Amino acid sequence: PLKGKGSQAADMRYLSTRGHPARQSFSQVLLSGLAEDGGLMLPEALPKITDAELTAWRALPYHALAHAVLSKFIAADDIDSTTLAALTKATYTKEVFGSDDITPLRGIDNYAAGMQIEALSNGPTLAFKDMAMQLLGRLFEFELGRRNATLNILGATSGDTGSAAEYAMRGRKGVNVFMLSPAGRMSAFQRAQMYSLPDANIHNIAVEGVFDDCQDIVKAVSNDLAFKRAHHIGTVNSI
């Protein structure tokens, strides 16, 4: 662990909101998406953060803060601290997010004294989901690389989730993205973002219908465990 920035979890396991008995590591959850019983995965126990850790975190740059927080949710024997720190540092850069602050604050004193707005939309697709997705792309590539495995990501989007996922996964080794979107029901800007990507691992599929129709397909695939395992399918969605 990085000195003075909080310790990494000695053990952290995740369980399904629907009660499946299996307990999984962060890396297992990372590649599987939804739980086998269709539930969402959440920590078996929430980590405790001391006043001293919170005080130390205030002075950290964004990538180091991300590392400190994530260390509470990823066991040391799963992804070690040095590797996790390298992944967060490579993700949260000025080149990708437009400033060293990553999420800069802007005062609005003309409207309310002392209040500030935090910018969460400075990533490559101008959506707040870039904040998580950019790291997710690197985590996928790292985990698949050490397993010598591949992953086919199936997603559903009405716009911003798809763009953020595709820009995070484009060109990543071992990852293919198949993104379902409702035909003719996204903004021209979002269609241009998604459909213009030339990367060989990005596949856009327009579905006749609405977003819920796309999401239903993803849920049906997620519930077919045999199909999901046979074709190495993971999922991303707004949830």
**What's at 87, amino acid-wise?**
L
Q: Whole-angstrom distance between the N-terminal and C-terminal Cα of the chain? A: 30
Is residue 129 annotated as a catalytic residue, yes or no? yes
d(C-alpha 37, C-alpha 47), whole Å: 25
The helix or strand, by DSSP H or E, that contains position 176, with its residue range, turns out to be strand 175-182
The helix or strand, by DSSP H or E, that contains position 178, with its residue range, turns out to be strand 175-182
Catalytic residue among 48, 72, 129, 228: 129
d(C-alpha 65, C-alpha 38), whole Å: 32
Report DSSP letters for 84-128, one per residue.
Answer: HHHHHHHHS-HHHHSSTTSS-EEE-TTTSTT-EEE----STTSST
Active site residue ranges: 129
